[in-house]
Amino acid sequence: MLVIDGKKVPFVEGKTILEIARENNIHIPTLCAHERLPSFGACRLCMIKVHGVPGFMNACTTPAKDGMVITTNNLEIKKLRRAIFELILSEHPSSCMICAQAEHCDKFNSGIMKAGVITGCNTCPNKDMCEVRAIAEELNFKTIRFPIFYKELPIERNDPFFDRDYNLCIHCGRCVRVCQQVEGAHILVFTKRGHDTKIGTSFEKPHIETDCKFCGQCIDVCPTGALSARGQKWYQEPDDRVRTTCMLCNKGCRFEMDVKWGRIVAVRPDPDYKTLKTGICVKGRFCLPTFFNAVDRIRFPRFLQNFKLYPTNWDEIGSHVAELLEAYPPSKIALYLTNFLTDESDYVFRKFAEMMEITNIYTTVEDLTQIPKKGIKVLWTTEGLPGLKNYKTLEHLIFQEVFPSEGYELADVVLPAAAFTEQFGTYYTQRGPMPIQKVVKAPDLALEDWKIVCKIAQELDLGGLNYLDVDEIEQEMGRVNYKQMVRPVDEYYLKYRGTPIAEKVPDFKILLEYRKNRAKPW
């Protein structure tokens, strides 16, 4: 049993005072402590008084002992805490926190200023989630008695994906700890000594030259705006936060996405997903929003007429495709199923093929060599494929994709598919079946792959392919005992469907090209 602020709380062997206090909803302000990281005792804000022990102790580094009587907040502690925080603030661009106009300015000013160098909260991308700011508000700071010191460090923008402004750094060491002890990467270290202490890489090399994996965990734990993802800031408060599973490979990483203006604006690892020890990879963490927000997404169904792909609606394209499929015997039709279909879409496609008696189902590029052998005339592909123009027997190409990737120029029917962040479903991964959540709406007329199949099946008067939602498909898959396999898409696969990720994400291209001689780019 412990007594914290007069409240009796149960003693747990091996836990720190801070951990026990937090478990019992007793608030102690901290900046360096983080639930995923080992204690460090850098910021000294969690100063507490243990009765019978002279002086003050850190709640975050002091192991709890049975019978301790602890005070977390009294006048003396408050005075000490304010002084410590005031010292931190005097070296952190804090003019906006103590500005007399702050409230009025927030109300009137037209959003955050997207400055290069952060000189106050109104130029800081971290404003809305800043922990330093939260503590300034908690301690009700209005003035700083100490001289203001600006470190004048150059901002570091020489790496893909993230900007670093160490003038904001409060040396809490969270980024160093997450890099060393969680990720095991040891890229970020404390460099220099004493007052000149700074976070950086060894020899201050750009991260791209080190073994940095660009997992972005340092950004996620930074309590200030010192570390920020270049393409994932300035959106202030998100409208929504949605958790889903990544479908860029078969690992099944979970992440949380910030949504604003109906678009994905930021990605971070799912904070609640306990099995996820390390971060998500550079593709998921940094490339995803840029990739799916790219302007050249396929947005409308189109069909070829007078050598041009004309945009149309789903009714018209549905009957157009149905006519096309009816004109050929099933043995002359082939389906190419991409590894990036959700389990439900995959099932619906295969059921459709079975009903149509289409037996030519391809899943790899090698399968395409059967096209001339079997004299395939219609290919319905769900991803852009290389070398299609070499198959002279092909008369029609139905191109169902997210982007106009390889083979698009040969298509005579284009069907706009929703990306995996734009649909519900399941994806069978190394971790087993993982849920896919709809994060944002698909652009314009783009639809989930299974819905596209259902639309065309309706035009073909095929019964049994008229689902309301993915749950219905899932139940049917359970009934027929449909077995899904882990797709052969590994962590370092560089495409989503037929589109190389680097093609839409310039920073990723820089990373790949710069590290092209390495066995693994990250």
Q: Which residues of the shown chain bind other proteins in the complex (CB under 8 A)?
A: 93-96, 98-101, 105, 108-111, 113-117, 119-120, 123, 143-144, 147-148, 150, 152, 157-160, 163, 206, 208-209, 230-235, 260-261, 263, 265, 289-290, 293-294, 504-507, 510, 513-518
Q: Which 3 state secondary structure label does DSSP give 414?
A: strand
Q: Which is nearer to other proteins, 99 or 445 (CB)?
A: 99
- Gap between the Cα atoms of 244 and 438, Å rounded: 8
Q: Which 3 state secondary structure label does DSSP give 445?
A: coil
Q: How far is the CB of 191 from other proteins (least distance, A)?
A: 20
Q: How far is the CB of 233 from other proteins (least distance, A)?
A: 7
User: Residues 6 or more apart from 371 whose CB is under 8 A from it?
Assistant: 334, 379, 391, 393, 394
Q: How far is the CB of 451 from other proteins (least distance, A)?
A: 27
Give the strand pairing for 333-336 and 302-305. Answer: unpaired
Q: How far is the CB of 111 from other proteins (least distance, A)?
A: 5
SS (H, E, C) 286-341: HHHHHHHCCCCCCCCCEEEECCEEEECCHHHHHHHHHHHHHCCCHHHEEEECCCCC
User: Residues 6 or more apart from 430 whose CB is under 8 A from it?
Assistant: 250, 251, 252, 486
Q: How far is the CB of 187 from other proteins (least distance, A)?
A: 16
Q: Which is nearer to other proteins, 265 or 434 (CB)?
A: 265
Q: Which is nearer to other proteins, 11 or 492 (CB)?
A: 492
Q: Which is nearer to other proteins, 39 or 421 (CB)?
A: 421
- Gap between the Cα atoms of 220 and 200, Å rounded: 16
Q: How far is the CB of 268 from other proteins (least distance, A)?
A: 16
Q: Which is nearer to other proteins, 1 or 100 (CB)?
A: 100
Q: Which is nearer to other proteins, 116 or 329 (CB)?
A: 116
Q: Which is nearer to other proteins, 32 or 505 (CB)?
A: 505
Picking from 55, 51, 48, the residue whose alpha carbon sits closest to that of residue 22 is: 48
Q: How far is the CB of 421 from other proteins (least distance, A)?
A: 14
Q: How far is the CB of 236 from other proteins (least distance, A)?
A: 9
User: H helices within 361-480, ranges in order?
Assistant: 370-374, 449-459, 470-479
- Gap between the Cα atoms of 264 and 288, Å rounded: 8
Nearest 10 degrees: CA dihedral of 318, 451, 423, 335?
Answer: -80
Q: How far is the CB of 230 from other proteins (least distance, A)?
A: 6
Phi, psi for residue 414 in degrees, rounded to 5: -120, 125
Q: Which is nearer to other proteins, 95 or 458 (CB)?
A: 95
Distances, alpha carbon 412 to alpha carbons 325, 352, 375, 378, 397, in Å: 13, 21, 19, 10, 6
Q: Which is nearer to other proteins, 103 or 272 (CB)?
A: 103
Identify the H or E element spanning 217. Answer: helix 217-221
Question: Are residues 449 and 422 in contact, defined by beta-carbon separation less than 8 angstroms?
Answer: no
